[in-house]
Amino acid sequence: MKKILFVCVKNSCRSQIAEGFANEYGKGIAEVFSAGSRPSGIINENAINVMQEVNIDISLNKSKGFNDLPVKKFDYVITLGCKDICPFIPADKHIEWNIKDPEGKDLKFFREVRDNIEKHVKTLLENISKITS
């Protein structure tokens, strides 16, 4: 099982959405985590709502920082647009997706971000699956 960490600043929108999709699509191939460089302590209500639209429940997730993670070394660290704000986390591979932050935007924008993240997660998991098979 590959260990994947999704990172954004507050761990309330993008990284939570990515974690939700990776948990849904990565069963059996990935152990998935998310964290933020400055966690907000809450999951954005719009992130919860747009994920419920695709039958993925992230409402019980927690916004957390790096010190809250049970794992300290990852196979993949995926940053979702936090650039210099995100500290270096040990991993075999670092990937930047540069996803726009939906915080403060309308549901239409959240849906576009959700769908973009879903495509990225599916591609990542397909690539991991090819490598491990």
d(CA 30, CA 55): 20
Q: Token digits for 60?
A: 């019980």
82 is annotated as an active-site residue: yes
13 is annotated as an active-site residue: no
d(CA 25, CA 18): 10
- Candidates 70, 90, 96; CA nearest to 18 is 96
Q: Nearest 5 degrees, angle CA 113-CA 37-CA 28? A: 60
Q: Which amino acid is at 60?
A: L
SS3 39: coil
Among the options 4, 8, 17, 32, which is catalytic? Answer: 8
Among the options 86, 113, 117, 128, which is catalytic? Answer: 86
Among the options 5, 17, 78, 82, which is catalytic? Answer: 82
Do 36 and 8 meet the contact criterion of CB atoms below 8 Å apart? yes
86 is annotated as an active-site residue: yes
Catalytic residues: 8, 82, 86
